[in-house]
Amino acid sequence: MRRRHDMPGGEVAVRIIVLSVQICLLCSVCVACGQASIPNSPTATSTSTSGGPLPIIGKDCGTVGGLRKVGNPSASGQCLYLAFHQCQAATLVDIQAGVDTGRYHYLTVQTATSPCSIEDRVSTYGTTPHQMATYACQGLVFTPADGLTAQQCGAEGAVHIPASFSTPGP
């Protein structure tokens, strides 16, 4: 029968590494639980800390933005603008991305009110605790040269989607 001090050095090292990994995993779970319970200060009509993508309401006018500048901002902006003026439910998703944090702006035509209205449902992601808020916007402007702007969306201010994405120089 072997005693602890009789074990070969490699076997002891493996046990120490395994124990260290288990402790690190336990600590990361505890930290994640603690961050999920941090309260958010309500600065909008509604706030939440639940994760996941928000639903598209009505017609899907597309997703634009992000680090890779996906989508067709002109066509998506025009889609939302036309839906607003025809009072048809529609959503355009604008991704404002940084390297490790960002926001999704779900610009949505709401048809439950008369006249129709625009709301900005904002969902953050990244290294900070996830936050969601909804803001009523005061107007929607679209020009082919400048793109789409949702005006005065609460604490977010104006949400602008350009007519096109500029390409970086060499």
DSSP string, 80-125: HHHHHHTT--EEEEEEEE-SSEEEEEEEEEE-SSSS-EEEEEEEEE
Mean pLDDT to the nearest integer, 134-161: 94
Quick one: pLDDT at residue 23?
A: 41
Co-location of 30 and 50 in the same domain: no
Q: Please check whether residue 104 is in contact with residue 122, taking contact to mean a CB–CB distance below 8 angstroms.
A: yes
Distance between CA atoms of residues 90 and 95, nearest Å: 17
Residue 98 forms part of a structural domain: yes
Co-location of 14 and 98 in the same domain: no
Quick one: pLDDT at residue 149?
A: 95
Co-location of 108 and 27 in the same domain: no
CB atoms within 10 A of CB 48: 14
What does the pLDDT look like over 16-69, one tens digit per residue? 444 444 443 333 333 232 322 222 222 344 444 455 578 999 999 999 998 888
Helices (H), the chain: 9-36, 73-85
Quick one: pLDDT at residue 6?
A: 53
What does the pLDDT look like over 84-105, one tens digit per residue? 999 999 999 999 988 888 999 9
Residue 169 forms part of a structural domain: no
Quick one: pLDDT at residue 52?
A: 59
Q: In what order do the strands lie in the sheet with 139-143?
A: 139-143, 147-151, 159-161
Co-location of 26 and 53 in the same domain: no
Co-location of 31 and 106 in the same domain: no
Distance between CA atoms of residues 107 and 117, nearest Å: 10
Quick one: pLDDT at residue 60?
A: 97
Most confident of 24-38, 135-149, 155-169: 135-149
Co-location of 143 and 67 in the same domain: yes
Residue 141 φ/ψ region, left for φ over 0, alpha for ψ in the -120 to 50 degree band, beta for the rest: beta
Residue 168 forms part of a structural domain: no
Co-location of 11 and 74 in the same domain: no
What does the pLDDT look like over 99-134, one tens digit per residue? 888 999 999 999 988 889 999 999 998 887 788 999
Residue 52 forms part of a structural domain: yes
Q: Please check whether residue 92 is in contact with residue 64, taking contact to mean a CB–CB distance below 8 angstroms.
A: yes
What does the pLDDT look like over 58-92, one tens digit per residue? 999 999 998 888 899 999 999 999 999 999 999 99
Co-location of 56 and 84 in the same domain: yes
Instruction: Look at residue 158 and tell me whether its pLDDT is greater than 90.
Output: yes
Q: Which of 113, 104, 123 is nearest to 47 (CA)?
A: 123
Domain carrying residue 103: 46-161
Residue 170 forms part of a structural domain: no
Instruction: Look at residue 2 and tell me whether its pLDDT is greater than 60.
Output: no
Co-location of 92 and 55 in the same domain: yes
pTM of the full structure: 0.67
Instruction: Report the number of distinct structural domains present in the chain.
Output: 2
Co-location of 89 and 109 in the same domain: yes
Residue 69 forms part of a structural domain: yes
